[in-house]
Amino acid sequence: MARANEEAAELLRELADLLSITGGDAFKIRAYEKAARAVEGFPDDISGLGLPGLRKIPTVGEAIAKKLLDFNQTGTIRQVEDLRAQIPAGVRALTEIPTLGPKRAYQLYDELGISSVAELSEAIGEERLKGLKGFGPKSVENLRHGIELLAQTRDRAPVDVASELADDVVAAISALPGVERCQYTGSLRRRRETIGDVDVLAASDDPHPIMEAFKALPFVTEIIGSGDKKTSVRTSRGLQVDLRVVPPESWGAALQYFTGSQAHNIRTREIAVRAGLKLSEYGLFDAESGALVVSETEDEVYRRLGLPWIPPPLREDTGEIEAAQKDELPRLVQVEDLRGDLHTHTDLTDGVASLEEMVAAAAARGLEYYAVTDHAPDLVMQRMTDEKMLAQRERIRELQKEYPDLTILHGTELNIGPDGSVDWDADFLAGFDVCVASVHSHFTQGREEVTRRLITACENPHVNVIGHPTARSLGRRAPVDADWDEVFRAAARTGTAMEVNSFPDRLDLPADLARRALRLGVRFAIDTDAHSVGNMRNIRFAVGTAQRAWITPDDVINTWPLPRLREFLAKKG
Ligand code: DGT
Ligand code: CA
Ligand code: CA
Ligand code: ZN
């Protein structure tokens, strides 16, 4: 993405945040957030555009176009500067705490002068929130928990940011003379949901020039350590990258070693020792003579240990070694297995692309079916009506004629109310091909209520998929509290799929819960929840999460041919 688009989107997002802190108009705030996403997703660099060009960005009207023009001319947005002068930066940082909304963040600043997360921690420790209106013991406890949650993800990057950086590094290194192989390893190869640092491995007999070229890459801002075996740098995206260069004959052993996890590697080394071997990043050696046994490919290393090759997402020592020994490793679901997408949006609600654009992109992805699931009326901000929904259905019928190879399904994303009920009555719901239902409010209900709420949604004969079931937002909002085993049993019993949502800050269900659901017989929908054409690329992150949950193609309803899917959607048990 163009640097200017990234910066402008961030300014619009800051504007939305600052306005919500000062109690600005909710519709305007949504409009800025929406425009931020559109600017990010816009294919051209906005920096050269004048007013007419800026107006062509989806969702950008006259007022926002003027702000973007201001940005193009001055490098900032005047209104953002004005608001910054009123509200210290730390107050905006406070709103990053899950469980603390903008109004309450402002209250803390206004009444107690708190303007950073550290100051808030201190104030809680000293019980200075006591007596503050709206901050009872339970809400202070939630705050404390929210601060912990923020700390857990603070030093880790979302998987999309890390992936893009890793792809850039691998492309640059691969293009250098003398590089025989290059790929990323570590947690990114294992598809973890957040990434501590990016690890890249290259094979070459002449490491020195490769390290020099690495240090000279345009996004490198600081050299943390440098040698011919390993060089570590910090990048403009804040993330650290470790590059290791090994001789081509050590490739397989090094790939295995630096993919990890550490817990998995401890197990493979133990297996080696018991077989009279020694495993290191240089190869698999005879323990006595020191002679090299194998090292060129990962596959050889595993085979010589008496194991089949183990897919990286499973390498966490959570049963994969035992399964490998019994030759019972699952055949993990892949992006190519997906025949359709069951959760997507258009600009009828909070998407930034039109129905026609989204469907064209789905066809280009080679999908066989594609569900359009715009938001239902209870999410008031989206201003959905029965008439709009029915008009969309008509447009889909027309559009379908142009796509003989893609079945367009008409669906909706319902809101699961606090009692488990959803937006429309059974008659209206029956008109949809597929209904996703999600929690979008009342996140802090107690465990029993949430459990009941999700089970009630599963029991609704028109609800097919529970969207982003925990409603977490990584580093921002805690998952809702539920007895998940009870929820999963209800999902399995009623023929309701659990979603694995592909947004990098959602990845929801998370892998550990999805694996529990799998054991209880639940089926999954691996969806993009795309709000733009660009979002469709996120699908690989949900697939990675599903792989970490040991999910196979047959467990996923949107790998099924349409007739089998239709039968599932009819919920006839
Ligand atoms: P991260 O960066 O926190 O997201 O997680 P990883 O798994 O990428 O961890 P990292 O970057 O520290 O190391 C990459 C891999 O290298 C790790 O998964 C296993 C291997 N490795 C690194 N240091 C050690 C070590 O001291 N012992 C062992 N057994 N393996 C190591
Ligand atoms: Ca790493
Ligand atoms: Ca590392
Ligand atoms: Zn949603």
- For residue 441, which ligand has an atom nearest its CA? 4
What distance in angstroms lies between residue 113's CA and the mean position of ligand 2's atoms?
Answer: 39
Ligand 1, atom 28: closest residue by C-alpha: 262
Q: Probe ligand 1: pick from 240, 262, 268, max atoms within 8 Å of CB?
A: 262
Q: Which residues surround ligand 2, an ion (CB under 5 A)?
A: 186-187, 197, 199
Ligand 1, atom 9: closest residue by C-alpha: 186
Residue 544 amino acid letter: G
Ligand 1, atom 25: closest residue by C-alpha: 262
Question: Whole-model pTM?
Answer: 0.81
Pick from 144, 147, 37, 14: nearest CA to 89 = 14
What distance in angstroms lies between residue 552's CA and the mean position of ligand 3's atoms?
Answer: 30
Q: Probe ligand 1: pick from 152, 165, 199, 279, max atoms within 8 Å of CB?
A: 199
172, 166 Cβ separation under 8 angstroms: no
What distance in angstroms lies between residue 185's CA and the mean position of ligand 3's atoms?
Answer: 9
| pLDDT (0 to 100) of residue 23 | 85
| pLDDT (0 to 100) of residue 269 | 97
Question: Which atom belonging to ligand 1 lies closest to the Cα atom of 188?
Answer: 8
Alpha carbon separation from 67 to 62, 310, 498, 516, 567 (Å, rounded): 9, 52, 41, 48, 50
Question: Which atom belonging to ligand 1 lies closest to the Cα atom of 197?
Answer: 2
What distance in angstroms lies between residue 308's CA and the mean position of ligand 3's atoms?
Answer: 26
Ligand 1, atom 20: closest residue by C-alpha: 258
| pLDDT (0 to 100) of residue 92 | 84
Residue 6: count of CB within 10 angstroms of its CB: 13
What distance in angstroms lies between residue 70's CA and the mean position of ligand 4's atoms?
Answer: 33
Residue pointed to by tokens 């790998």? 559
- For residue 231, which ligand has an atom nearest its CA? 3
What distance in angstroms lies between residue 305's CA and the mean position of ligand 1's atoms?
Answer: 21
Q: What is the pLDDT along the chain (573 residues), one digit of tens a residue?
A: 577 888 899 899 999 999 988 888 888 999 999 999 899 888 889 998 999 999 999 889 999 999 999 999 999 999 999 998 888 878 888 888 877 888 889 999 989 989 888 889 889 988 999 989 989 988 898 888 888 877 766 778 999 999 999 999 999 999 999 999 999 999 999 999 999 999 999 999 999 999 999 999 998 999 999 999 999 999 987 899 999 999 999 999 999 999 999 999 999 999 999 999 999 999 999 999 999 988 889 999 999 999 999 999 999 999 999 999 999 999 999 999 999 999 999 999 989 999 999 999 999 999 999 999 999 998 877 889 999 999 999 999 999 999 999 999 999 999 999 999 999 999 999 999 999 999 999 998 899 999 999 999 999 999 999 999 999 988 778 899 999 999 999 999 999 999 999 999 999 999 999 999 999 999 999 999 999 999 999 999 999 999 999 999 999 999 999 999 999 999 865
- For residue 232, which ligand has an atom nearest its CA? 3
Ligand 1, atom 10: closest residue by C-alpha: 186
What distance in angstroms lies between residue 242's CA and the mean position of ligand 3's atoms?
Answer: 5
* Residues near ligand 1 (Cβ within 6 A): 186-187, 192, 195-197, 199, 257-258, 260-262, 265
E-only strand ranges, 186-299: 194-195, 198-203, 220-226, 230-235, 240-246, 277-280, 283-286, 292-294
What distance in angstroms lies between residue 417's CA and the mean position of ligand 4's atoms?
Answer: 13
Question: Which atom belonging to ligand 1 lies closest to the Cα atom of 242?
Answer: 11
Please report how the helices 26-41 and 62-74 are oriented relative to each other, as an axis angle in degrees rounded to 10. Answer: 60
| pLDDT (0 to 100) of residue 246 | 96
What distance in angstroms lies between residue 551's CA and the mean position of ligand 3's atoms?
Answer: 27
What distance in angstroms lies between residue 503's CA and the mean position of ligand 3's atoms?
Answer: 24
User: Phi and psi dihedrals of 526, rounded to 5?
Assistant: -100, 105
Per this entry, what is the length of the chain? 573
Ligand 1, atom 27: closest residue by C-alpha: 262
Ligand 1, atom 24: closest residue by C-alpha: 262
Taken in order of first residue, the domains within the chain and their CATH numbers are 3-153 (1.10.150.110), 157-246 (3.30.460.10), 251-325 (3.30.210.10), 335-570 (3.20.20.140)
User: Phi and psi dihedrals of 340, rounded to 5?
Assistant: -155, 180
